[in-house]
Amino acid sequence: MSTTLSPVKKWLVFTDFDGTLLDHYTYSFDAAIDCLKQLAEQGVPVIPNSSKTFAEVRYLQEKMLLKTPLIVENGAAVYIPKDFLPQKPKGAVFKHGYWLKSFAQKRQFWQGIVQSMKTDYPRQFETFGEMNIGRICELTGLNEKSARLASQREFGEPVLWLGSGEQRRNFIERIRKLGAFPLLGGRFLHVSGNSNKGKALTWLLKECVRQYPKFTFLSIALGDTNNDIDMLEVADIAVRIASPVHTLPELQRTHEVYTSVATGPQGWREIIDQLIMTTLHEDD
C-alpha cells in the first residue's frame, strides 16, 4: 500500500455491497466496473463494509480485482491483507492469510440466544441456520454457489421475520436484554454483538493513521439501508445510494452528506465520479 499513497491526501472508500455497489435485483456491478478500475489505478482502496460473510466478500473482491481490506457481517470483523499495512494491527490475529480483528462473539453463541426465543415466538421467524441452500436462493435471489458462500457465517445469525411489525419490535426489545444487538438490514434481521459498520470503519481508519502518520486520510462511506447508518455517520463523507425498494437511511448529520439520483451501482459511479475522480484528475 505504501507505494500508492499520496503525499497529501489518501482516499479510503468504504462501501456497502447489496443495493449499493451491487444491483438490488441482479447483484451486478457492471455499471461501476470502469470506475473501480480507475480507482485501483489511482491507488484508492475500495474497502467492502458489508453484511456479507468473509467467503462472499472474498469471492466478489476477486471478481472486482480488489486486493483491499474487507469488513464483514455488519462490522463484526475486519480482515486486512498482510501487505496492506507495514505492521501487525493492534489486537489482530492471523487467519485465512489475513490479519483478523473481530468485534463480536462467534455465530454459535448468537444461534443459541435466538433459538431460546423460539417457544415465545412460534412460527414467527426463520433463522439462516435452519435454511437449506434452496431456501436461501429463494429468499435472496442468489445462485447456488453464492448461497453456499452466504451460509458460511462466523459472527452472527440472520433472522427472517415472518410475524407482524409489532411482534418484531417486541422480539428485538427482548433479545437486546439478552445481550444481542440486532440490526435490521434490507432482507434480514441480523443478530450479533455490540459491533457495527461504523466501529469497524473507525478502527481500520485509526490503524491506517497510526501506521502511516505522514499521510492525511479522507474516508467516504456509501450505503443504502439502515444497517449502513453507523458508517455513514462516522465517515468524513457520507453517501446515501438511492434504492428502488426502500427509502433513504435517515442520518443525524447534515454536513458532507450526498445522495445519488441513480440507484445501485449506477448511483455509486455517479457519486464517486463527482467526489473523487474529479479531484484526482485535478491533482494530475
Residues 111-134: tens digit of each pLDDT:
999 999 999 999 999 999 999 999
Q: Where are the domains of the chain?
A: 2-103+195-283, 107-191
Band of the pLDDT at 167, cuts 50, 70, 90? very high
The domain covering 107-191 belongs, at the CATH homologous superfamily level, to: Putative mannosyl-3-phosphoglycerate phosphatase; domain 2 (3.30.980.20)
Given a cut of 50, whether residue 5 has pLDDT beyond it is no
Residues 89-113: tens digit of each pLDDT:
999 999 989 999 999 999 999 999 9
Mean pLDDT over residues 26-39, rounded?
A: 95
Q: What is the share, in percent, of the chain residues with pLDDT greater than 90?
A: 87
Q: What is the share, in percent, of the chain residues with pLDDT greater than 70?
A: 95
Band of the pLDDT at 157, cuts 50, 70, 90? very high
One-letter identity of residue 190: H
* Residue 283 backbone dihedrals phi, psi, to 5 degrees: -65, -35
Given a cut of 90, whether residue 241 has pLDDT beyond it is yes
Band of the pLDDT at 2, cuts 50, 70, 90? very low
Q: What is the pLDDT of residue 91?
A: 94
Burial class of 122 by CB neighbour count within 10 A (0 to 12, 13 to 18, 19+) = exposed
Q: What is the pLDDT of residue 160?
A: 97
Residues 271-282: tens digit of each pLDDT:
999 998 777 655
What pTM did the predictor assign?
Answer: 0.88
Q: What is the pLDDT of residue 1?
A: 47
> What is the spatial distance between Cα 92 and Cα 212, in angstroms, rounded to a whole number?
18
Q: State the distance between the two ends of the chain, measured CA to CA, in whole angstroms.
A: 20
Q: Are strands 189-191 and 217-223 parallel, antiparallel or unpaired?
A: unpaired
Q: Which residues contact 279 (CB under 8 A, 6 or more apart)?
A: none
Given a cut of 60, whether residue 283 has pLDDT beyond it is no
CB 261 within 8 A of CB 273: no
Q: What is the pLDDT of residue 12?
A: 97
Mean pLDDT over residues 55-83, rounded?
A: 96
Q: What is the pLDDT of residue 6?
A: 47
* Residue 40 backbone dihedrals phi, psi, to 5 degrees: -60, -40
- Which CATH topology does 2-103+195-283 take? Rossmann fold (3.40.50)
Band of the pLDDT at 256, cuts 50, 70, 90? very high
How many CB atoms within 10 Å of residue 82?
10
> What is the spatial distance between Cα 249 and Cα 230, in angstroms, rounded to a whole number?
10
> What is the spatial distance between Cα 77 and Cα 203, in angstroms, rounded to a whole number?
11
Q: What is the pLDDT of residue 284?
A: 52
State the cell numbers at 110: 448468537
170 closest CA partner among 130, 126, 117, 123: 117
> What is the spatial distance between Cα 15 and Cα 50, in angstroms, rounded to a whole number?
7
